[in-house]
Structure 1
Amino acid sequence: METTEASELPPPERSPVAGSPRRNGARLRTPEYVGRRPPTYEAEPTSWPAADPGGLEDLVPDTVLDGARYGALTLRAGSLRGDSARYRGEPRRDALLTARFGAGDDALLLVAMASGARAAEGAHRAAREICAWLGGAVGRSHARLVEDIHAGRRDELKSGLHRLTDRTYGRLRVRAAELGLRPSEYTAGLRCLLLPVDPRCRTRVFFGVGPGGLFRLREGAWQDLDPEPREPVAEAEAEPLTGYDVADRITVDLGIPTPGTAPVIDPAEVPSEPFRFRASIARPGDTLLLCSAGLADPLRGEAELGVRLAERWARTEPPGLAEFLADVQLRVKGYADDRTACAVWEG
């Protein structure tokens, strides 16, 4: 797992944290940080990316927020530019898609997030496209997916989501070829949650490809539900689930495209990534957190961040959108990437 250390990047020309900003003599409130030292970069956006007059639809806002409540289920989601990109005037490489398919208790909620390849031209476009394409595929199949989740059809659900993901990456490789780029230059990591709206179904399904995190806050303690493959999952975290077994935590994709769904490309051009899958039963009081590597890395690397979030999110009521944004942007020195997160509170 790669961590973006501030020391690896050219130092800013000015010291962004030499003093707190002031307006009319009053000290402005800046986002908090955890750790022994303040982060290198300013806490607020500094520069916008350069715009093309003929391609304004390509612009990406610095920050997006969303939220919803369905019965006892409360969602908060957000994506924000990293401190480094804010300082250098680079676009947010992370993309976020939230969608409801269907109506009533038969509806299915999808949260998809993607992170474009680092230092790749058009990385933000690749992230947005893969979210949109995967979202469209899930939407067209949502009725069957809801049935499989309710019935605990492990094999059908796992293979179906794997197939949809493979096809989506196949489309991304085609787009890379159309742009004259190598597949590795136009790609993105993808992480998704499927949440049935029916209050009688507490199954929560995660799947995706690439780095990031899936964490659960239960009884005041964080559990890492999607650790790196080399790190074994504790047996206590692999609770039994009707229709599913512990082998469903991670399913390895050997990089072989689904026949007929991807262009013929030299295998060396397509780096192999594990296809990750987990289905678990939520309990009242749980908080499930899906996030990109920009938040997962500091959560794993700085214990105080997890402690602070656990304290804030264990309160009686879930945070509002503004509070959630403040929580997600708790900064840690050495971690300056984009952050995208979705938290689900179970009532």
Structure 2
Amino acid sequence: MSQQGDRPATTDDWWGRLYDESARDTGPAGTPDDTIDDRFDSAADTLGGGDDLPSTRTYGHAVDAIAVDDDEDDAGDDEDEGVGPASRPPAWWESPGGRPVTRTPAPAPESAPAPAPEPSVPTPAPVAPAPLTPRPRAPWEPPPAAFDPTDPAADPTPPPAAPRDPRAADPRPPAPPPPPPPAPAPAARISHVGDSPPTYEPEPTALPAADAEELDQLVADTVLDGARYGTYTLRAASLRGDSARYRGEPRRDALLTARFGAGPGALVLVAVATGARATEGAHLSAADACRWIGGAVGRSHSRLAEDIRAGRRGDLKSGLHRLTDRTYGKLRARAAELGRDPEEYTASLRCLLLSADPDCRTRVFFGVGGGGLFRLRDGAWQDLEPLVPEPSAIRGAPVVGYGSVPTGAGAATEQTPDGDRLTMDLEITKAPGPLVEEPVPPPPEPFRFRASVARPGDTLLLTSVGLAEPLRGVPALGDELAARWADGEPPGLATYLADVALRAKGYADDRTAVGVWEA
């Protein structure tokens, strides 16, 4: 294309890339007026242009004659004999109603041999676009605009919907399921029973006084524990009473849960102690009682666990009686160290022994002092507290060497020739005892023992005095706890604590309860 000028070509010059001087030209023009316009007219005629364009042009070495309906011959450059307007479909810019164009190859000049035709490249037939299937509108898409009759581009006739294959999946998203009906609201859990609420607030108000040098003697307001062994689930809680919370007094109840051994031979001990009322250091005596009975049981746990699995009730009763007596002996010795009366530094003690063997359902209770032992079976409470004989029934005959001087037969053999009275038969002299004007004080609390076999679904409840008294005096409290534990499933720790804290007017002492749920 040197005839168009010598414009240099650069990388960014599109004109230079289009008309590059280094590119091979199609050949010299046959006429001196070969310009861009002439070539454009020739190309338009070749592609079937209108009547107003020149009809004959000659390019290159091969000349084709194009005959049109007005007998005007146009020569064009086409080296592909198999490609022409007659052998291809009309292009997108061509009018379907244009003139028919036929193309016949022109003979090559005799002076120059005709070049070999290049292999033809078939033009692919146009593919008609597939009809669009209307897509259902998704829930989040806005609705289509309303039809405007004044809009000429609007088509009031909706396109026909394509038939849907019944085997194909539904393209529409599934409708959301209807919301479930609201669950009935659970019944509100009451915090007290009776016609009126208790006098004190249900939450702690004041803390006990503390000594900087005796911080180890402080006790927490609430203790909560639990475990699961064999066929039972254990729940234990001890909390300060309403009156002690109000006055800032320490909790007098003590709770100990301990496991000795491992495997089926393990033994679980739960001890509950309550210090004497209106005495200084009552919480300390209760803690000592739990600690000392725990040590005694722990040192003998192997023999105790074996006796429980074997059902030796006689051996258990006598052995546990000795361990309990030793505990109270230590309490009296501790009171002497503190310079206090034994009645001031003492506590009631109640214990449960539970085997970890799944095949053993024997539950052993023992202790001294007040409290409660209950069993919930078939929705009804049973009071399992062992019967305590009257004091007169356990005093027996006068003991030699104590009280008034015996008279009657045999009295001479119990005195020396000088008239001194013998103590037993050990020949040890003792001065006559003082005259007792007041009645003899009652003996200490008797030892309590009970061994029972649990059934599936039973709930055993061991309590201190603070919960045993309202359970026996307020039937509504027992009914409420029975309703809460009716399904036989052990409650969680927090739920169990709320159950034990169910209050009743007139009962504001510390509460400690140990529950055993049988599977």
TM-score bucket of the superposed structures, by smaller chain: 0.7 to 0.9
Does structure 1 retain, via aligned residues, the 8 Å contact 2:466–2:508? yes
Match of 1:74 in 2: 233
Matched, 1:49 2:208: yes
1:186, distance to aligned residue in structure 2 (A)? 0.3
* Equivalent residue pairs, number: 289
Q: Which whole-Å CA distance do the structure 1 matches of 2:344 and 2:447 have between them?
A: 20
Task: Name the structure where helix makes up a greater proportion of residues.
Answer: 1
1:198, distance to aligned residue in structure 2 (A)? 0.3
Matched, 1:151 2:323: no
Match of 1:263 in 2: none
Match of 1:111 in 2: 270
Matched, 1:132 2:304: no
User: 2:481 is matched by which residue type in structure 1?
Assistant: L
Give TM-score scaled by structure 1 length: 0.80
Matched, 1:283 2:283: no
Does structure 2 retain, via aligned residues, the 8 Å contact 1:182–1:269? no
Match of 1:181 in 2: 340
Encode CA deviations 1:302-344: one digit per residue, 9 max, x unaligned.
0000001011112242100000000000000000000001000
Match of 1:330 in 2: 502
Partner of 2:512, secondary structure, is strand
Gaps of 5+ in 1: 1-28, 232-251, 257-267
Give TM-score scaled by structure 2 length: 0.54
Q: Which whole-Å CA distance do the structure 2 matches of 1:253 and 1:30 have between them?
A: 46
Superposed CA RMSD in Å reads: 2.2
Name the CA shift for 1:141/1:172 in 2 (closer, same or farther; >3 Å). Answer: same
Does structure 1 retain, via aligned residues, the 8 Å contact 2:386–2:450? no
Match of 2:129 in 1: none
* Structure 1 stretch displaced more, 147-156 or 268-277: 268-277
Match of 2:493 in 1: 321
User: 1:290 is matched by which residue type in structure 2?
Assistant: L
Match of 1:340 in 2: 512
User: 2:207 is matched by which residue type in structure 1?
Assistant: W
Does structure 2 retain, via aligned residues, the 8 Å contact 1:31–1:329? no
Name the CA shift for 1:107/1:224 in 2 (closer, same or farther; >3 Å). Answer: same
Partner of 2:343, secondary structure, is helix
Name the CA shift for 1:225/1:119 in 2 (closer, same or farther; >3 Å). Answer: same
Does structure 1 retain, via aligned residues, the 8 Å contact 2:207–2:248? yes
Does structure 1 retain, via aligned residues, the 8 Å contact 2:471–2:477? yes
Partner of 1:85, secondary structure, is helix
User: 2:489 is matched by which residue type in structure 1?
Assistant: E
Out of 204, 219, 236, which is 2:363 matched to?
204
Does structure 1 retain, via aligned residues, the 8 Å contact 2:252–2:275? yes
Out of 254, 261, 264, which is 1:95 matched to?
254
Task: Name the structure where strand makes up a greater proportion of residues.
Answer: 1
Match of 1:219 in 2: 378
Does structure 1 retain, via aligned residues, the 8 Å contact 2:231–2:358? yes
Q: Select the structure of larger CA radius of gyration.
A: 2
Encode CA deviations 1:260-282: one digit per residue, 9 max, x unaligned.
xxxxxxxx789510111000000
| Aligned structure 1 segments of 4 or more residues deviating by more than 2 angstroms | 227-231, 252-256, 268-271
Q: Which whole-Å CA distance do the structure 2 matches of 1:254 and 1:100 have between them?
A: 38
Higher RCO structure (Cα 8 Å, ≥6 apart): 1
Out of 442, 465, 483, which is 1:311 matched to?
483
Name the CA shift for 1:335/1:199 in 2 (closer, same or farther; >3 Å). Answer: same
